[in-house]
Amino acid sequence: MSFRILIVDDEPALQSMVREILTQAGYETLSALSCAQALEQFRAAPPDAVLLDVMLPDGDGFSLFGKLRENRDMPVLFLSARDEDADRLQGLGLGADDYITKPFLPQELLLRLRAVLRRVYREEGSASKLGDAEIDWGKGTVRRDGREAALTAKEYALLRKLWDARGNIVTIDALCAALWDGPLVGYENTLMVHIRRLREKIEAEPSHPSYLLTVRGLGYRLNVEGGT
């Protein structure tokens, strides 16, 4: 699925670069240099997500955010040169999905945008490939070597959390928080049990994992490319 992203920034050169980054990554883009243009674009072709600068020539991004959200509840990421806590807290406090401070790396922008889109437009029915294992998110199963194994609720939540952050380390605290409510002290051993069972379903050699890797002292990382 190709997402349509509206980029609102008053700096044409930066906007052109962001448009290029997103287009290369397979996104469809719309651009606006002001609040008025943004509202016009928004009405003409509603985007799936908005990258929004805070300082605009005819208003501020925070006010525009409110107007956009009045019309449609789509993800909004602030992309601003204002790095003060107050601005970041105001943006996130309004309900924005992320607040990215300039300058940023293209990869950083893409990862954060992808994470937000994944969270908001979760494709429950789709399937994902992890090496020679195929994960069916709709059915909650893993198929490998012609055999299908059902995931328990905890294993599903664990795999989902790791998949959403694939390639990155997810701390044991974040995994525990995704699996259990309340205080997280003392869940580490139980987490290890769930990890071991999950490995048995997705790995060819669970004792020498290639995909679900342990990062000692920190957490786990889902290595979608395989290999240690």
Interacting residue ranges for other proteins, rule: CB under 8 A: 11, 13-14, 17-18, 20-21, 24, 81-85, 101-107, 168-174, 184-185, 215-219
CB of 168 to other proteins, least distance (A): 4
CB of 73 to other proteins, least distance (A): 28
Distance CA 183, CA 177 (A): 9
CB of 169 to other proteins, least distance (A): 4
3-state helix, strand, coil in the chain (%, to 5): 40, 25, 35
Q: Based on CB atoms, which residue is closest to other proteins, 14 or 133?
A: 14
Q: Which two tokens stand for residue 174?
A: 């974040």
Distance CA 145, CA 18 (A): 42
Q: Based on CB atoms, which residue is closest to other proteins, 9 or 155?
A: 9
- Residues whose CB is less than 8 angstroms from the CB of residue 210 and which lie 6 or more positions away in sequence, other chains included: 131, 203, 204, 223, 226, 227, 228
Distance CA 224, CA 215 (A): 15
How many residues comprise the chain?
228
Q: Based on CB atoms, which residue is closest to other proteins, 9 or 151?
A: 9
Question: Which of 124, 208, 220 lies closest to 166, judged by CA?
Answer: 220
Q: Coil, strand or helix: which one is 46?
A: coil
CB of 106 to other proteins, least distance (A): 5
Distance CA 223, CA 203 (A): 11
CB of 223 to other proteins, least distance (A): 13
Distance CA 30, CA 38 (A): 9
CB of 209 to other proteins, least distance (A): 18
CB of 26 to other proteins, least distance (A): 15
Question: Which of 125, 153, 128, 131 lies closest to 202, judged by CA?
Answer: 131
